[in-house]
Structure formats: structure tokens, C-alpha cells
Amino acid sequence: MTSTAVTSEKSIDRRATSEERRATVIGVALVILAAFVFWVFGLGVESGVTSLFNLSLPGERFQDLAWEVNSRWLAFLVSAILAFLGGFVLRKSHLKRTNLALAIGLGLLALAFLTWAAAGNSFSLVGMLRSTVILSVAVTLGALTGLMCERVAVINIAIEGQLLTAAFVGTIMGSAWGIWAGLIGAMLTGAILGAVLAVLAIKFRVDQIIAGVVINIFALGLTSFLARRVLSEAQDLNTPGSFPSLKIPILGDIPVLGTMFFDHSMFVYATFILAIVLHLGFFYTRWGLRSRSVGEHPKAADTVGINVYRTRYRNVILGGVIAGFGGAFLTLSQVSRFEENLTAGIGFIGLAAMIFGRWMPLGALGAGLVFGFARALQQKLGILGTPIPSEFLSMTPYIVTIIVVAGVVGRSRPPAADGKPYIKE
């Protein structure tokens, strides 16, 4: 963020060439994708076959909405647009639009893929989009947790452990004293683990990766231990109930969009609001500026009177609260039951989403939705019986993250001081 101000003339030259190189890579990739869509999704289906997308779920106000499309012609259309986008990017006249072109291209690719997968069949598109939103919640909250910590230069790879432990405590307290107690318990648990991470990282200056690994192992061990030793004996502590779905009046009745966004438990709304609030907070308030300065250049922040340690403690603990909220979502909304290793890597997808979203809250939300889409797609593909193994879709978030950190498709840059302990002189 701050590097542009000090970039020397020389590095501006170099950036121009590296952006051009990126444009070449992305342009060629788009053209190859266009050819791929043409051959596989276009010529791969019989002519005249249609794909039927259902756009309403049973019980909605507007029933039997559907979109029927000729599978082959849609693929041809997408292929043409992809080729156009590829040509546009390769012209390199609008380098700033490269990412936009890539995003549009990938979105269209997903559409062409779905049409191909549903060729001669019907497919509940709105159902999948709805589960995209639901599945994105925990990932987004995980990403926001990581972001809260890393913006003040504390690496948090303990998101997974925070989610898991919070989900566990949420289950127990929710079963014993009701769902709201469960929610508060989960958030407190997240905060406590955040505080542990903060103390290890800030006070004891333990390597932050190791601190994160420790918390993950500890969380997995302790929750599995307690689940077997306590929950197996006291079954009634594993029935927390769940938060009800709150349909928003009017908005909830809009076809497709209403079902996607406005007919969920409060966790979903809260996640969207939180991402927006954090984005505004980080980039338009004094708190955000101070937090970011601690993450980019703690010494400078200290010099102007910002308390580096206190800022770090506060943000890491608040991040823990967000993770606790995410953990509560898992057992108090998505499933109403705790099982060993319930999170199964969601925290790490959150970490990936944070990187993919370039350490920005709205980026994290977008990345969460993209990864949620991949997971939703993976669940529905089995129903359609496509030859694409679901495992490859499961890999998507991780492969995307490697591509992003390797800088092939635009580099994602962490806060400058990320992971470095600060020693006040």
C-alpha cells in the first residue's frame, strides 16, 4: 500500500515490463481457454441439447422460474467472448483492466462449465448459489481473522484451531444454556486463543508460525480428547440447536438474489456487514490507519506515539472474536453437532482466502465467495454425474493461492512487517 510513494523511477520501469509479462501470460491463457471451451464444452455436446437451470426453490413466492439454454451455442458464445478478452489483454493497451478481463473470463468459464455439466439435464442453479453463500461464511470469517492479525504484523495460522475450539465450546455452552450462550462462549473462546497467540507472539516473541502450529495441534488434540471423554458420556451436551433463518421482508422474495442473500441465519448477514465495516474501518478511520501503520512500519508508528504492542494485542484478540463467531456458525447454524476435526481445513482455506483477497476485507469476502462457489460446485457435481473428479475442485483454493503467492497472476503483498516481532528500544 505504502510502497508506491517511495518507488524509484527505475522500479516503475520494471513494473511496467512485469505487468506486460503478466498480460501476455493471462492473454494467452484466455485464448487457450477459449479454444478449450469451444472444443470440449461446445463440440463436446450434441447439437440441440439444452441445459435447464432452475432459478427457484420449493416454497418460494415466485415458483417455477427456469432458464433453458442451448448448451452448444452458449459454449460457442462464451468461447467467442473469451477469445475477445484474450485479444484485448494481449493488446496491452489497458493494462489496468487485465485483472477485470481475467475475472470476467473465469466467471464465464464457470458458466460454460455448468452448462456443459447440466447438458440434457436440469440443475438447481439457485440452490448452488445459495450454498455458495452459506459455504463462504466460515471461510470469509477465517480470512477476516487472519487479516485482523496480519494487518498489525502478527501471522495467524491458528485460524483452524480457533474455529475448531470455538465450535466445540459453542456446542457445549449452547447445549447447556441455549444458543446465545453458545455464541458468546464461542466468541470468548476465540478471543482467549487470540490472546494466547498474541502473548506468545508479542510478549515471548515465539516464532509466529510455530505459535500457530502449536495452537492448531493443541486445539485438535484437546477438542478430540474432550469429545471422546466428555461428549461421548454426556450426549445431551452435543445438541446445541441452531439459530433460525431470518428472511428479510421484500428483499427475500426477489427471485434468485433473495434466495441467495436474504434468506439466511444472522451469521450470513453479519459476515457481509462485518467485511464492509472492517474495510471502511481499515481504510477510512484513524483506527485503521494506526493498525496498518503498525503492520507496515512499527518503528515509525511507535515514533509518532502509537502503542505498537497494545494495537497488536487488541487486533489479534478481536480477530479471535471473529474466529469464534465463525466457529459458532459451524455448530450453531450449519450443523447442530460437534464432531472430531469438524473444521477439516476450513481455517486454512480462510488463510488462502486472505492471501487471495490481498489482505483486504472486501477482497476476503470476494475470495470467500469464490472458494465457497468451488465447494458448492463440488457438492453438486456428484449429482450431475460429470466425469470431473470432485477432488480437483477441492484443490482449487490451494492451487489458486500458490499461483497468487508465486506472482504468476498478480502478486499479493503482505504488510511489510508481517511476522516480525517488534522490540521497543
Partner 1 sequence: MTDSGPPPERRPSDPSARKREARITGVGTSLRRAVVIPALAVLTALIIGGVIIALTDLDTLSVWGSDPMEALRLTLSGVGNAYKALLIGSVGSPRALTETLYAATPLILAGLAVAVGFQAGLFNIGVNGQMHIGGMAALWVGFSVALPGIIHIPLAIVAAMIGGAIWAGIAGLLKARTGAHEVITTIMLNFIALYLVDYVLTTSAFQAPGRNDPLSKPINPSAQFPTLGDFRVNIGFLIALAAVGFVWWLLYRSIIGFQFRAVGFNPDGGRYAGMNVAWVYVGVMAISGALAGVAGTTQVLGLEPYRGISGFAGTLGFDAIALALLGRSHPIGVLFAGLLFGALRAGGREMQGAAGIPVDLVLVLQALVIVFIAAPELVRAIYRIKTPEEETGVTISTGWGG
C-alpha cell at 95: 493494462
Query: Least distance in Å: CB of 346 to partner 1?
Result: 11
Nearer to partner 1, 102 or 109 (CB): 102
Q: Is 379 in the site for partner 1 (CB under 8 A)?
A: no
User: Applying CB under 8 A, does 362 fall inside the site for partner 1?
Assistant: no
User: DSSP letters along 121-159, please?
Assistant: SEEEHHHHHHHHHHHHHHHHHHHHHHHHHHTTT-----H
Q: Which helix (H) or strand (E) holds 163?
A: helix 159-177
Q: Which span (165-173, 218-226, 300-308, 319-327) binds partner 1, by CB under 8 A?
A: 218-226
Residue 221 CB, nearest approach to partner 1 (Å): 3
C-beta neighbour count of 197 within 10 angstroms: 29
Binder among 9, 64, 233, 236 for partner 1 (CB under 8 A):
233
407 near partner 1 (CB under 8 A): yes
Binding mask 17-56 for partner 1 (x = CB under 8 A): -xx--x----------------------------------
Q: Is residue 157 at the binding interface for partner 1, with CB under 8 A as the rule? A: yes
DSSP 8-state class, residue 119 = B
Interactions with partner 1, residue window 325-354 (CB under 8 A): 345, 348, 351-352
Q: Work out whether 410 is an interface residue with partner 1 (CB under 8 A).
A: yes
What is the rounded CA–CA span in Å between residue 5 and residue 32?
37
Nearest-CA neighbor of 326 among 174, 175, 163? 163
Pairing of strands 245-247, 50-54: unpaired
Is 399 a binder of partner 1 (CB under 8 A)? yes
* Pattern 58-97, partner 1, x by CB under 8 A: ----------------------------------------
The footprint of partner 1 on this chain (CB under 8 A) covers a number of residues equal to 70
* Beta-ladder partners of 246: 264
Return the range that interacts with partner 1 (CB under 8 A); candidates 31-39, 116-124, 212-220, 318-326: 212-220
Element (H, E) at 355: helix 346-356
Amino acid identity of residue 304, one-letter, is V
Which runs of consecutive H residues, i.e. helices, occur in 199-265?
208-226, 257-261
54 DSSP β-pair partners:
66, 124
Give yes or no for residue 228 binding partner 1 (CB under 8 A): yes
Nearest approach in angstroms of CB 259 to partner 1 is 30
Cβ distance to partner 1 smaller for residue 111 or 374: 374
Q: Decide: helix, strand or coil at residue 120.
A: coil
Among 25, 81, 106, 222, interactor with partner 1 by CB under 8 A = 222
The answer to whether the CB of 167 falls within 8 A of the CB of 327 is yes
Contact between 288 and partner 1 per CB under 8 A: no
Task: Write down the least CB distance from residue 133 to partner 1, Å.
Answer: 23
Work out whether 236 is an interface residue with partner 1 (CB under 8 A).
no
* 397: its cell numbers: 483454493
Integer CA distances (angstroms), 313 to 141, 203, 204, 318, in order: 19, 10, 13, 8
Should residue 416 be labelled a site residue for partner 1 when binding is judged by CB under 8 A? yes
* 245 binds partner 1 per the rule CB under 8 A: no
Among 61, 91, 94, 229, binds partner 1 (CB under 8 A): 229
Residue 114 interacting with partner 1 (CB under 8 A): no
Q: Does 383 bind partner 1 (CB under 8 A)?
A: no
What residues contact 21, with CB distance under 8 A and at least 6 apart?
none
Residue 50 pairs in a beta bridge with 70
Distance CA(2)–CA(74), nearest Å, equals 44
Name which position in 97, 247, 314, 413 contacts partner 1 (CB under 8 A).
413
Q: Is the torsion defined by CA of 158, 160, 162, 164 positive or negative?
A: negative
Q: Which residues contact 95 (CB under 8 A, 6 or more apart)?
A: 16, 19, 20, 23
CB of 366 to partner 1, least distance (A): 14
Q: Which of 101, 112, 129, 226 binds partner 1 (CB under 8 A)?
A: 226
Is 298:422 a contact under the CB 8 Å cutoff? yes
Query: Order of strands across the sheet with 122-124?
Result: 66-70, 50-54, 122-124
Residues making contact with partner 1 (CB under 8 A): 1, 3-4, 7, 11, 14-15, 18-19, 22, 99, 155, 157, 200, 204-211, 213-218, 220-222, 224-226, 228-230, 233-234, 345, 348, 351-352, 355, 358, 389, 391-392, 394-395, 398-399, 401-402, 405-408, 410-414, 416-421, 423
